[in-house]
Structure formats: C-alpha cells, structure tokens
Amino acid sequence: MTKLIKSGAYAQDAYAPVADDAALPDGPVLVSLARFQKDRETLLARNTPVGIRLQSSENPELLGADVNHFALIALEFPKFRDGRAFSWARILRTRLGFTGEIRAIGDFLYDQVNYQHRVGFDAWEVPDHFTLDMFNRALSEMTDVYQPSSDGKKTIRELRAGRVN
C-alpha cells in the first residue's frame, strides 16, 4: 500500500490508474505511454485531467508538444539505483517547460527525496511506513548543495566564489 504526499501533506490521489487494455473510467486517469500513444485522440478529447506514467527507460521528450496536455507526469524509479527519473524531471522542468505535477513512484530512498524535490518533483508515492515527519526531515537535512539543479539554489562553489569576491 502506498500513500501520496503533496505540498508537505498527505493527499488523496484523484487519478485512477488504467491498464493498457482496460476501459477508461470517468474522472482523471493515469495511463502508460503506450496507452497514450494508442488512444491519444480519445484521451485528449476527454474533459478531464490526464496523467501519464513513464517508465525509467521512457524519455519525456518522446511526448513532444503533447507534454503540456498532461496535468500529471509520474516518473518511475524501478530500483533506487536507477536515477534516470532525476534527469527526466529536470528535463521536464527546464527544457520542456512542464508546470504540472511530477510524481515520484517506485523504489526510491529517503536520502533521495531532497534531490528529487530539487530537480522538480512535487509529489511522492511513499510506502505506509514513510511518515510526514520523515518526509519533512528529508527535505530539510541538506542545506548546502554541490550540484546545480532546476531549483536555482546556489551551489557550495558559487557560495564560496561569492564570499571571496
């Protein structure tokens, strides 16, 4: 069982996950890239939000101009060691200009939440044992950073250079 965290609080998931061969229910849906490609016109004609679930091997640039039709893009972490979703989130925010929800799903670690947030994630499916206290602590544990990211936070190198000048 998983819980959804958005804006630092537990949230109700409005999106119904839909299998590739299942009928589309009423309301917001979350579909795979294959399902979207197969039923694109039908999904875009609906008067309801559509979310897409991308596997770690599916580059969001495959969405092309359709990226702005989605209210939610869920990026999969199949194993915590597979970091492609970090790159995909940053590409979505910086290169593709996506402003909707980017959700982390799958197998990621507590230690990765802060950096997920820095590259553009703003929602997380977490296991039942993962509490809001843990989530908030994960976001605040790292105050200085080495890597530049889409959040615009100054890196340690930039901070050092600013203190010297």
| Burial of 28 (C-beta count, 10 Å sphere; 0-12/13-18/19+) | middle
Distance CA 60, CA 21 (A): 22
pTM of the predicted model as reported, rounded to 2 decimal places: 0.87
Indicate the domain borders of the chain. 2-164
Q: What is the pLDDT of residue 165?
A: 40
Per-residue confidence in pLDDT tens, the chain, 165 aa:
679 999 989 999 999 999 999 999 999 999 999 999 999 999 999 999 999 999 999 999 999 999 999 999 999 999 988 999 999 999 999 999 999 999 999 999 888 999 999 899 999 999 999 999 999 998 887 776 657 676 767 766 777 788 544
User: By the 8 A CB rule, do 86 and 58 touch?
Assistant: no
